[in-house]
Amino acid sequence: MSNTTRLLKRYRVEVAASASSVLSTLSTFPLDSVKTRMQTYKYAGFLDCVRQTYQTEKLRGFFRGVTAPMASITLVRTVSFSIYQNTKYSYSGWVKKNFGVDVMGHVSAQGSYPNFWTVATFGAAGATAGFCISFIACPFELTKLSAQVSVLMADKKNCPRPESHAIAASYQNKGTLKTLGNIVKHRGFRGLYTGLKLHLLRDTLGTGTYFMTYESSKQLLTTFGGDGTHSNPLAVLVAGGLCGIVSWALIYPVDSAKSIYQRNSLMYSKGQKVEPVKIEFFKKNMYRGLGVSMGRSCAVNAVFFSSFEFLKKRIKAMDDQVQQDPTKRLQ
């Protein structure tokens, strides 16, 4: 077995997660762009946002800021999956040691159902991963948001103060690195972490809910479907889509507050006070674009998990083939 094959086998989760993230992000980015615009500005609806964006910015408008999330989501997903896998087994071991409950053994047992310990373990592991990745993702997401709404911010009618127009207009039509530099110029290096508290809250709750729902629904599908259901592409698709919908439904007002606060902050210079944005659950304006987000989440997870499972199997099959046929070993 060659060194390359050994590395692929050892890090197949990370390799599969990285490649799948690029594919899923690129294919569904227009929906993310529409979601952000609907959160931060008023439109009559999804189709109105699509129509206005195309009329003013053409197709390019739907892919503004795609570079930042391509890099950040790939990094974040890879790190998130790695942290989640490690903490899941660590927390499971702690539960077994202190309470005598074998969480992973229960999940693997045929005919088992989710219980308090499995839900709590997966939720805590996901929350830990979400908290950690927020420090990586926040600057990239701020850059993405800036690019997505840069044209709208530059419009004078969208500026709360006349003096903020020059700052807002400076973000228009800039690439990822120039946008990062522009944020630092106006708000300092700490400005890259504008909205971090809201980001931490969103990702801690959201990622915890995401993995908790994914693992539990996959366990249920395994039990209801019998042996092998967990490897069935349809089962993976349903579990992935469901975890995305449930997590977004829970944390969407937090995400809206984060997006609005970050948008507002981009119109101010360092030292100027930016009014906080209140998180309001069950208030209509905080749920603008929720349908788009849920549709996008289903699409992202359908592409991601299908690709993720496929690539993992291909890497494992390649390894098995090499071991079975020594004449085909890579030199």
Kindly give, in sequence order, each residue whose CB lies less than 8 Å from that of residue 68, ignoring residues fewer than 6 positions away.
Answer: 140, 141, 143, 144, 147, 176, 179
Q: What is the pLDDT of residues 194-219, one digit of tens each?
A: 999 999 999 999 999 999 998 899 88
Report the alpha-carbon distance of residue 329 to residue 323 in Å, rounded. 8
213-269: pLDDT as tens digits: 988 998 888 788 765 545 667 777 888 889 889 999 999 999 999 998 998 888 878
Q: Which residues contact 252 (CB under 8 A, 6 or more apart)?
A: 286, 287, 290, 293
pTM of the shown model: 0.80
pLDDT for 210: 93
CA neighbor of 8 nearest in space, from 322, 242, 288, 237:
322
CA angle (146 as vertex; 49, 247 as ends), nearest 5: 70
Q: What local confidence, expressed as pLDDT, does residue 224 receive?
A: 81
**In the predicted model, is pLDDT for residue 324 greater than 80?**
no
What angle do the packed helices 196-225 and 67-99 form, to 10 degrees? Answer: 60
Is 90 exceeded by the pLDDT of residue 172? no
Return the pLDDT at 31.
Answer: 85
Read off the pLDDT band of 44 (50, 70, 90): confident
User: If you average pLDDT over every residue of the chain, what do you get?
Assistant: 83
Among the residue ranges 80-94, 134-148, 302-316, the one predicted with the least confidence is: 302-316
Burial class (CB in 10 A: 0-12, 13-18, 19+), 116: exposed
The per-residue pLDDT for range 123-166, each reduced to its tens digit, is: 999 999 999 999 988 988 888 888 777 767 666 566 666 666 66
Task: Give the per-residue pLDDT at 77.
Answer: 86
Mean pLDDT across 14-35: 85
Percent of the chain with pLDDT over 70: 85
What's the pLDDT band for 37 if we cut at 50, 70, 90? confident
Q: What are phi and psi of 170, to 5 degrees?
A: -70, -15
Average the pLDDT over 72-88 and give the result.
Answer: 87
User: Considering Cα of 184, then 185, then 188, then 189, what sign does the dihedral take?
Assistant: positive
